[in-house]
Amino acid sequence: MCEAALRAGLAPDENWSLVERYTDGATLPNGRGQGIRFDIVNGLPSYRIGVHTDEHADVVIEVSAAVARELNLLYTDDPAYGAALDRAKQTGQIAMEGDLSRIPDWFTAIHDPLVDRTA
């Protein structure tokens, strides 16, 4: 994610944050829950593994581990991806809050390379 952000040539005043928290994730040795935090502060990206249950960001995604695993095996152009995402939203296994329209194109495009690494 950081590499993609750096390649995107972020504006020096760009600020944006994302928290993805596993609703049924394990507690990590550092006391945080399973998940990720991604920040862009003044155009510089950073990434951290583990999040607190009350951590806020511009976009917060809460997802079950099972749904995260399922989505991380499907490419975005696969109709099964859209169906799995819709099903997860309808069953409450994934919830998103925040201004998703601010997610840049380069960020949404990193899903498929993550699938390559997960598969």
pLDDT digits (tens, 9 = 90+) for 85-110: 999 999 999 999 998 776 667 666 77
Which pLDDT score is estimated for 99? Answer: 83
Task: List Cβ neighbours of 29 (8 Å cut-off, separation of 6 or more).
Answer: none
Which pLDDT score is estimated for 57? Answer: 95
Which pLDDT score is estimated for 10? Answer: 85
Burial class (CB within 10 angstroms; exposed 0-12, middle 13-18, buried 19+) of 92: exposed
* pLDDT lower than 70: segments of the chain: 102-104, 106-108, 119
pTM of the model: 0.85
Bridge-based pairing of strands 16-22 and 59-63 is parallel
Cα–Cα distance measured from residue 107 to residue 4, given in angstroms and rounded to the nearest whole number: 7
